[in-house]
Amino acid sequence: MNALRGIHRHPLVKRTALFSASIGLSTIVGIFSIPILVSQLGASLWAILAVFQSVCAFFAVFIAWGWGATGPSIVAGLPVDERRQLYATSVVARVLLFVVAVPVAIVVGVLVTQESWLVATLAALAYLLPGLSAAWFFIGTNRPIKLFLLDSFPVILGNIVGLVVVLIVPSLEAYLASIAVFSLVGVVAANASASLSGPGAVVWRHSPRSLFDTYKSQLAGVTTTVTSSFYSSIPTVAVRLFAPQALEVFVMADRLYRYGVLVLAPILQSIQSWIPESGVAEAKRRSRQSLTIGIGIGVLGAVFLVIFAAPVSSLLTHGEVVVPLGLMVLMSIAFAGDAVAQVTGLAGLVALGGSRQLALSALFGTLAGSGLVLLGASMASVFGSEPTAGAVGVAAAIALTCVGLATYRSAVLVRLAR
């Protein structure tokens, strides 16, 4: 009981509370956006928007080039006067990737959704700009206030303005344009703060060789994040292509699943800087504690998702889309596995020098999981009389992959932490 009374004074709990502001407000805005977008644009166009988000999320992670995964732990372990140079180098490298990725994302978006080039362009700008985010730098240097004000709040404000605009002019183009404008403002402000303030000199000009070395140094991180993002994006795209009749139901289940992941995010962000900051011996002990935290969050979140999925989905979509229990049970199992896999991988393994095992597990999980997802989506043609068969098949594939990743990464973490 004494330990429970003092838990609020634990440094990890305090840090998590500060990082939760960004995630909490983003989640609230996201939840309230669903009924507004469904009522103004229709459930079908809302589901198409989710497809755009899935496609662009993959390219945004490609632009980020792994710094979101390994950056917080790396910058937390650097001397203060070397941090600005690390960040400035990442900015140059990511801007080049942004220029390459935007046109490709536009083309893919048009091909998958059959929407106009204007919608695809606005979606690409709105959802690829986060690839240039300074979030990982603020997380690694334990600056939750800057993370909220400069990185998260502009995006949140863009979503709010976009919803107001949609209420006046029911247009997907207007909604995406609002998000794109405010995302750009946030990216500029956050990058200026991260790279232009603080001790240490900064060199902005980089030779092709030095940029190549920079990209190479992030191979483990980019392999982890790009493969994971590809695997996160492909289910919605697969359902759109092979089981379009189940798209709205799957998107709603996927949204609830991702809101659960958002709740996990501030805890993960705190653990990423908390584990490596006190030396190797303490990092091993804290890594073992992080495994327990991940399991606890996974089980608790899974229970909540199963209980509240049907009533919440009905409420948010005015009764148009209700997630079946069987589908949500599978997505809940996936959440539990994902919670453990993310905490042990992005926090524990990176801090203990297990980036190679993290990258390999992400690559294998993506290859195996993507095959299972495509197989699951094809169930729609086998069970033609059941409209949600494709969605259930995809959810089963996601659950199996997440549990497999969690098991492997937990075993590796326990071995490295001995």
CB-CB contact of 84 with 198 (8 Å): yes
Task: Answer whether 243's CB lies under 8 Å from 377's CB.
Answer: yes
Measured CA to CA, the distance from residue 248 to residue 261 in angstroms comes to 20
Report the distance separating Cα 207 and Cα 263, nearest Å.
Answer: 41
The whole-number pLDDT of residue 124 equals 95
**CA 54, CA 59: separation in Å to the nearest integer?**
9
> Counting Cβ atoms within 10 Å, is residue 334 exposed (0-12), middle (13-18) or buried (19+)?
buried
For residue 235, what are its two tokens? 């289910």
Q: pLDDT digits over 365-403, tens only?
A: 888 988 999 888 887 666 655 677 888 999 999 999 999
pLDDT at res. 15 = 59
- pLDDT higher at 207 or 11: 207
Whether residue 19 is predicted with pLDDT greater than 70 in this model: the reply is no
Cα–Cα dist 363/361, whole Å: 5
- Whether 348 shows a pLDDT value over 90: the answer reads no
Instruction: Name the pTM for this structure.
Output: 0.73
Burial class from Cβ neighbours inside 10 Å (0-12, 13-18, 19+) for residue 161 reads middle
Q: Please report the pLDDT score of residue 61 as a whole number.
A: 87
pLDDT-above-70 percentage for the chain: 90
Question: Which region among 86-95, 123-132, 149-158, 271-280 has the lowest average model confidence (pLDDT)?
Answer: 271-280
The burial class, CB within 10 Å (0-12 / 13-18 / 19+), for 105 is buried
Q: How wide is the angle at C-alpha 350 spanned by C-alphas 348 and 21, nearest 5°?
A: 70
- 63-86 burial, b if ≥16 CB within 10 A, otherwise e? bbbbbbbbbbbbbbeeeeeebbbb
* pLDDT band, very low/low/confident/very high, at 11 (cuts 50, 70, 90): low
Task: Tell me the backbone φ, ψ of residue 258, rounded to 5 degrees.
Answer: -70, -30
Q: Is it the case that residue 7 has pLDDT exceeding 70?
A: no
The residue extents of the domains of the chain are: 18-217, 220-418
Residue 278, pLDDT > 70, answer no
Give the angle subtended at the CA of 311 by the CAs of 378 and 343, to the nearest 5°: 65
Measured between its terminal Cα atoms, the distance across the chain in Å is 29
Q: Is the pLDDT of residue 16 over 70?
A: no
213-225 average pLDDT score: 81
pLDDT the model gives residue 286: 82
DSSP letter string over 35-100? HHHHHHH-HHHHHHHHHHHHHHHHHHHHHHTTHHHHHHHHHHTS-GGGHHHHHHHHHHHHHHHHHH
Q: What pLDDT score was predicted for residue 328?
A: 93
Q: What is the reported pLDDT for 176?
A: 96
Kindly tell me if the per-residue pLDDT of 337 is higher than 90.
Answer: yes
Mean pLDDT, rounded, of the chain: 85
Q: What is the DSSP letter of 386?
A: -
Determine the average pLDDT of the residues in 93-98.
93
Burial tier of 277 (Cβ tally within 10 Å: 0-12, 13-18, 19+): middle
Which of 11-20, 49-58, 194-203, 349-358 is modeled with the greatest confidence? 49-58
Collect all residues with Cβ–Cβ distance below 8 Å to 318 and sequence separation of at least 6. 35, 38, 39
Give the pLDDT confidence of 33-72 residue by residue, as tens digits.
999 999 999 989 999 999 999 899 889 988 988 887 778 8
pLDDT confidence tier of residue 3, bands split at 50, 70 and 90: very low
Q: What pLDDT shows up at residue 108?
A: 94
**Whole-number pLDDT of residue 2:** 46
Strand residue runs (E) in 140-219: none
Q: What is the dihedral of CA 244, 249, 252, 258, to 10 degrees?
A: -70
Over residues 291-309, the mean pLDDT reads 91
> What average pLDDT score do residues 93-113 get?
94
